[in-house]
Amino acid sequence: MASIDYGMALARGYIADTPTYKTDILKKVGGANVFKQESWWNEQLNKAIKEGFKEKTTERVSPGVFSGRGTFDSRVRRKGYESATPVYEERYIKRSRGSGPQYLPIDTPNIDTRRYMVQKNIIGYDAVKTSDITTQVLNKIESATKRRGEVIRGETEKLKKTSKRARRGLGGLVAKAPLPGEKTGALPLLGETGLAGSEVGLGTALNLKG
């Protein structure tokens, strides 16, 4: 098998299309320009498939998702998440009664801090979970392998057609080539009789009859 680098391995379907795997395999091989045998790349992929592919994903959930009894962390885990970070929305709220709006956008210029203060409201959580994406990754690998096979078959068919045309062309040239001793015009074939055996010799005047 040939030695290929990371880019070639990626193009040939030896690299699983996940951020974690791509990062890990680059560290393992020692860089994108390091060459390894195709069997090595394939072996690493097979090992990863056996272990399964997992990726951390983050999704925004509503504030009420983690309501209930127990500590916040326990409620997060019960929902299948590893962690959850609150997402705040800031605005100004009036400190006391009086004229003017009760709330103002946080980007309001020249705010009178004696009358308004910053209020933070939780509008959701960025919740993190680890998902098993082995099935999705295997589907991508299968599709990439299928596409690569179709490309190879297409190139093979082109090569076959090109070879057939070349053979037909060669057969035509051979069929048109004169046989030894066969005259194709007024003069004999070069190498058959030579100038000495010809009726027209070097230095001989031609007798033209009208």
Per-domain residue ranges of the chain: 3-52+133-160, 58-131
For residue 22, with 0-12 CB atoms within 10 Å meaning exposed, 13-18 middle and 19 or more buried, which class applies? middle
* Positions of the chain with pLDDT lower than 50, given as ranges: 173-175, 177, 179, 187, 189-210
Provide the whole-model pTM.
0.48
Q: Are 145 and 13 in contact (CB under 8 A)?
A: yes
pLDDT of the residue at 32: 93
DSSP 156-176: HHHHHHHHHHHHHHHHHHHHH
Dig out the tokens for 183 from the structure.
Answer: 């005259």
Q: Are 37 and 1 in contact (CB under 8 A)?
A: yes
pLDDT of the residue at 169: 54
97-109: string of b/e by CB count within 10 Å (b at 16+)? Answer: eeeeeeebeeeee
**No. of helices (H) and no. of strands (E), the chain:** 5, 6
